[in-house]
Each structure stands twice: as C-alpha cells, then as structure tokens.
Amino acid sequence: MNIITNRDQAARLARAILSDVAIYNQQKVESGIKDDNIFDLLAEEIEEGRQHFLARVAPELEPERMFELTLVDILIKRAGKIESSIW
C-alpha cells in the first residue's frame, strides 16, 4: 500500500473514511448530536478510521490535523439539521 503524499488525495481519503463512519452509524450520529455525546458514541469507529488514515498518509501532510478538521466537517456540520441543544 502506497503512502499518500498528495494533499488532495489525502483529503479525499479522510472524507471517504468519515463519510463511511457517518453512513454506517446514522443512528449513533443522530443520537450523539441530540445528546451531545457523539464522540463518545463513535469513539471506536472514529479511532479505527483515524488509524487507517494515519497509516496511509505521509506525516508531512499533518494527517492528524487533516483528519480532525474533516471529522468536524463530516460528522458535525452535516448534522446541523438534527435538533440539539448544542446549537
């Protein structure tokens, strides 16, 4: 498996991983947003995705930061339509 050194390719991989987490765990996402505990509910899935991403992306691309920013975009911003006390 090749290490990704292109920022755009790394960003696509992060979006794909986290979109899969969101799609395959829709109930947890909804519940987590409503109850403000999404990161607790999805801790295992997020960590699995993070480890896969970090293993595939070159360190000079700051993969941890890229993953965290994408995490917010995919799991939090897209869930903005869900009723919650956090917004």
pLDDT at 87: 52
Collapsing DSSP to helix, strand or coil, 6 comes out as coil
Collapsing DSSP to helix, strand or coil, 4 comes out as strand
Range of the domain at 15: 7-78
Of 42, 1, 51, 50, give the one whose Cα is nearest residue 22: 42
Tell whether pTM > 0.95.
no
Residue 84 falls inside a structural domain: no
Per-residue pLDDT, averaged over 58-76, amounts to 95
Cross-strand partners of 57: 4
Residue 87 falls inside a structural domain: no
pLDDT in tens, 13-60: 999 999 999 999 999 999 998 888 999 999 999 999 999 999 999 999
Question: Number of folded domains in the chain?
Answer: 1
